[in-house]
Amino acid sequence: MKLFFKLFSLIIIFLVILSDLYSQTESQKQWLLDFSKQKDAEWRANRQLAESLAIIYKVPIRKEYEDGSIIVLQGFEDGRFIYDATDNLVAARTVSTDKVWPDNFYGFPLSGNDQLLGLWEAGGIPRITHQEYNGRITVRDGASNVTQHATHVAGTMIGRGIDANAKGMSFNGKIDSYDSGNDLSEISAAAAAGLKVSNHSYGTIAGWRWNYFSDNRWAWFGNLAISQVEDYKFGFYDNSSVNWDNFLFNAPNILVVKSAGNDREDTGPAAGVQHWVQDGGWVLSTTTRNPDGGQFGYDCIGDARGIAKNTLALGAVNDIPTGYSGPASVSMSTFSSWGPTDDGRIKPDLVANGVSLYSASNTSDAAYVSLSGTSMSSPNTSGSVGLLLELQELLYGKGLPFRSSTMKGLMIHTADEAGWNPGPDYTFGWGLLNTFKASQLMRLSAEVGGDTLIRQLRINQGSSIQFQVTSNGLEPLKATICWIDPPGTPPPVSLNPPNLMLVNDLDIRITGPGAVTYMPWVLRPSDPSSAAIKSDNFRDNVEQIEILTPTPGVYIVTVNHKGNLTNNFQDFSLIISGIVIQPPASPLLTFPAHDTTGVRIDIPLRWNHASRGMSYQIQIATDSSFSNIVFQKDSIKELNTTAQNLAYITKYYWRVRGKNSGGMGGWSQIRSFTTQLAPPAIPTLVFPTSDQMNLPLTFTFIWNKAENAISYRLQVSNNIIFSSLVLNDSTITDTTRQITGLGDGKRYYWRVNSKNTVATSTYSPPRIFFTRLNPPDSLKVSLLPVQHVSLTWRDRSANESKYFIIRKLTGGNYSIIDSVSTDQVTYTDTTVEYGNAYTYRVFAANSFTISDSSNEASVTIVSVPSEIEVLPKEYSIFQNYPNPFNPTTAIMYGLPVESGVSINIFNILGQEVKSLVNSVQDAGYKTIEWNSTDNAGNPVVSGVYLIKFEFSDIKKPSSAITQVRKMLLVR
């Protein structure tokens, strides 16, 4: 900030001289107050007449449409009702406003602090309690209708950035808010009180309007007496334009920012379709009329404020999220209105982002919405003007405000080229607003001193102004003049009258080496799509000469005038760039500190703004004499850059110098830094390999040593996203790690990263492995007193889904004979034959793996009588067979004595399904079948069922026993 304030001593010397050229006079203030009273009385009388007639003719006084647009009746003129109609981080990038915000490393501290912006809105005011600007908006005219349009516009101008994407241009600024009714009277009084910028995102309805009567028809606002097919108001300089120019001629310090309108999208109905026209009253018509802007879109700016000479009219382009990168990066919106005015002046003046701007909404204090229109490009610009006003005060003080012609000329001079041809055009105006370039030139002018680059001058009747500048031939030489022209004299109401509205015609010429004279840009309204040429401009109160490749040497800049000047003089502003000035001072390096060690190789190197610096050059070398330069970058606009291709653990030296059109400045002091150790490499996994199966529950992970690694982190997880960790060890200094306690028969994922004092690597690509299932053991087989073999084993796995039973005949090979479900530990083989010897094994399995087999167990089947004579020695129960079954299974049990027997089937919920036995039975082996039906004879569903056995010796009832077995029905 000191760089701004140290200029004040120089400024004070010129304060008295400059005050007349900068500030409005007391007589102008009084004129504005008188003008305000006059226009207030006129507006109120006309508005009252218009409202009375609107009621009689049944036309809207105020209407809000579904898309948020609003129309408001303002007056009655020439037999017609006059209506006003409403016409952000990405937005800031598009016009380079974000570069002048604090902490963006461009050397500017701008936020709109202490800046008051005027906001006039058709039909409403912002939601003043919205979190983006609560407490920073004052409603000045008693308006109370809160609208989305006004809320969004205010947010684009001063939104705080609570939602970062909705940050306004002057995010610390304030707003005085007004309804658009009686705007000329109100703004005149506000200007007399010192207001310096205002926003007007609305305009008079001209040409086509959709759904005016809420009947889904077009209405045409043209005057049939003037033209049956085109609204004469497009481009027409009328008495309202006179009033605005008259106001601005007497308020030289306020810049009125006006949306150009969105009429180019209004095509009207198809040929022969009924629409409304004003013919005495509103009547339906089928006459074919032109779309607004005609076949090619030109001449469709219909509001007097935007047509006025001294306002700043804004068109709308699509956003440029990554910032301007040349004319091709600026694309026109589908709706933005194009010039020329009827007298051929360049309108719009500039363009800014007006498509899908994200900003505050009126639905709640924390609501947001994206809207499009020149209504959005206008606050994008007026909010940016607030930052330029803040900078102007920092540089020159509050007592020396710029004229509006200076601010307007500066913004036009520094605009980015847009459009299909060099120079201005009737679509993009003078180009895309660039707040950063305007700020740069403003700061440079103050640092150079005097009036070298930005001049506020006065030309007297019959005189001329002339001065010399020098070009280095290395960059374009550019000069722009802009003046607040007295109001013109409107022609009679007619279609496209060519009458010139320029009153004081100033001319700029530049004469260069070899007596070559350079002329300003000129457009030809007779061929609006043609490229600009260089000739005598007799239409615009802005003239610009641009010499892209000047010959080095001395140039003479001359400003004179044609004819007689109103009041015998004309104040004007001149902005010039590309001339030889004093080279920049040396910058001060700020980061990193001298001799810092452990610096990242991608560290941003930073320095302070050098007085008069417009860009910078940096050099980095491995020696302090800079004989071995490893990195050099030129034309850096920021106050920082990131070096490339630096090596690790290396000492470097760096320096910076500024550049402007006068050449290179002196080098900064030299600083050094040493880069850090390289980050560690990503480890390469060795064991287990990918998809490795049957790993033991305790084993050792192995990976290769990673370059520059000091330690490692091993993670083992149950899932691929590593959200369920079974091991997370970051203390490993070796390349191995044993793990214990894994579950059997499970799938796991593992990965490793590395770490040193500098950084932590990303993880290695994960690998999958599977642990083996614990095999069953203690397998035993026994011969039942029937032609069956009973198998039992011990379950040692927690994760099997089934068991497979394998069998072989003596001298034969094993084969699978059956399987049982999880947690089963018994099986009955009913397929054996007498006289054979069998050997059995059992192994567990799930969807991932198969266990080793159990121990072997053998049995020989000997012949026995068909009638069982041997009685069981104790109560015994055998696994049902088959199991799983469908639909019938056999259930075998043994009774050592005569017993009471109860056998019942239950479902998994404990509900009885079937009663199989409830009687007294003799001793012996018994078999009963269940056909999977319930007590009512109905088939039961698939699932797990429980068999409950209850036995009791009839002689010893107290000896009763109860046992339960599971079985599985699979239909």
Q: Kindly report, residue by residue over 249-278, the tens digit of the pLDDT.
A: 999 999 999 999 999 989 999 999 999 999
Q: How confident is the model over 879-897, as a mean pLDDT?
A: 84
The pLDDT value given to residue 72: 65
- Nearest in space to 888 (alpha carbons), one of 813, 825, 969, 826: 969
Q: Give 328: exposed, middle or buried? Use CB within 10 Å, 0-12, 13-18, 19+.
A: exposed
Q: Is the pLDDT of residue 63 over 70?
A: no
The pLDDT value given to residue 3: 38
Single-letter amino acid code for the residue at 333: S
The pLDDT value given to residue 865: 40
Distance CA 782, CA 840 (A): 11
Q: How confident is the model over 241-255, as a mean pLDDT?
A: 96
The pLDDT value given to residue 5: 35
Q: Is the pLDDT of residue 650 over 70?
A: yes
Least confident stretch, 338-347, 695-704, 871-880? 871-880
Going by pLDDT thresholds of 50, 70 and 90, the confidence category of residue 60 is: confident
3-state secondary structure (DSSP) of residue 365: coil
Q: Is the pLDDT of residue 182 over 60?
A: yes
The pLDDT value given to residue 397: 87
User: What is the number of residues in the chain?
Assistant: 971
Q: Is the pLDDT of residue 183 over 60?
A: yes
Q: How confident is the model over 455-460, as a mean pLDDT?
A: 96
Whole-number average pLDDT of the chain: 90
Tokens 């007497």, located at residue: 250
Least confident stretch, 494-503, 725-734, 960-969? 960-969
3-state secondary structure (DSSP) of residue 566: helix
Backbone angles phi, psi at 18, to 5 degrees: -85, -20
Q: How confident is the model over 352-373, as a mean pLDDT?
A: 88
The pLDDT value given to residue 43: 64
Per cent of the chain over pLDDT 90 is: 71
The pLDDT value given to residue 1: 37
The pLDDT value given to residue 50: 67
Token pair, residue 476, equals 């374009």
Distance CA 377, CA 352 (A): 5
The pLDDT value given to residue 28: 79
Q: How confident is the model over 548-574, as a mean pLDDT?
A: 97
Q: How confident is the model over 167-172, as a mean pLDDT?
A: 95
Q: Is the pLDDT of residue 46 over 80?
A: no
DSSP-assigned letters across all residues of 873-939: SS-EE---BSSSBSS-EEEEEEESSSEEEEEEEEETTS-EEEEEEEEEE-SEEEEEEE-SB-TTSPB
Q: Give 722: exposed, middle or buried? Use CB within 10 Å, 0-12, 13-18, 19+.
A: middle
Q: Give 689: exposed, middle or buried? Use CB within 10 Å, 0-12, 13-18, 19+.
A: exposed
- Nearest in space to 342 (alpha carbons), one of 139, 494, 173, 476: 494
The pLDDT value given to residue 19: 45
808, 795 contact by CB (below 8 A) = no
Q: Name the DSSP letter for residue 99.
A: G
**Whole-model pTM above 0.75?**
no
Q: Is the pLDDT of residue 929 over 80?
A: yes
Burial 940-970 (b: 16+ CB within 10 A, else e): beeeebbbebbbbbeeeeeeeeeeebebbbe
Distance CA 916, CA 948 (A): 10
Q: Is the pLDDT of residue 11 over 50?
A: no
- Nearest in space to 488 (alpha carbons), one of 349, 348, 344: 344
Q: What are the Cα distances from residue 35, in Å, to 25, 117, 571, 893, 930?
A: 15, 21, 22, 116, 108
790, 828 contact by CB (below 8 A) = yes
The pLDDT value given to residue 484: 98
Specify the higher pLDDT residue, 862 or 804: 804
825, 791 contact by CB (below 8 A) = no
Specify the higher pLDDT residue, 246 or 48: 246
Q: Is the pLDDT of residue 34 over 90?
A: no
Going by pLDDT thresholds of 50, 70 and 90, the confidence category of residue 86 is: low
Distance CA 438, CA 857 (A): 95
3-state secondary structure (DSSP) of residue 950: strand
Q: Kindly report, residue by residue over 589-634, the tens digit of the pLDDT.
A: 999 999 999 999 999 999 999 999 999 999 999 999 999 999 999 9
Q: How confident is the model over 890-898, as a mean pLDDT?
A: 87
Least confident stretch, 14-23, 100-109, 437-446, 828-837? 14-23
Token pair, residue 273, equals 């379709």
Sign of the alpha-carbon torsion through 135, 140, 142, 147: negative
Q: How confident is the model over 104-119, as a mean pLDDT?
A: 94
Specify the higher pLDDT residue, 83 or 131: 131
Q: How confident is the model over 90-98, as a mean pLDDT?
A: 78
- Nearest in space to 381 (alpha carbons), one of 456, 438, 425, 326: 438
756, 679 contact by CB (below 8 A) = yes
Going by pLDDT thresholds of 50, 70 and 90, the confidence category of residue 38 is: confident
The pLDDT value given to residue 69: 63
Distance CA 791, CA 660 (A): 97
Q: How confident is the model over 811-823, as a mean pLDDT?
A: 90
Q: How confident is the model over 479-495, as a mean pLDDT?
A: 97
Q: Give 61: exposed, middle or buried? Use CB within 10 Å, 0-12, 13-18, 19+.
A: middle
3-state secondary structure (DSSP) of residue 85: strand
Q: How confident is the model over 836-861, as a mean pLDDT?
A: 91
Token pair, residue 143, equals 């308006």
520, 537 contact by CB (below 8 A) = yes
Distance CA 123, CA 290 (A): 29
Non-local CB neighbours of 462 within 8 Å, separated by 6+ positions = none
Going by pLDDT thresholds of 50, 70 and 90, the confidence category of residue 295 is: very high
Least confident stretch, 157-171, 450-464, 889-903? 889-903
The pLDDT value given to residue 31: 79
190, 287 contact by CB (below 8 A) = no
The pLDDT value given to residue 83: 67
Q: CA angle 459-463-465, nearest 5°? A: 60
For residue 550, cis peptide bond before it (omega within 30 degrees of 0): no
Going by pLDDT thresholds of 50, 70 and 90, the confidence category of residue 863 is: low
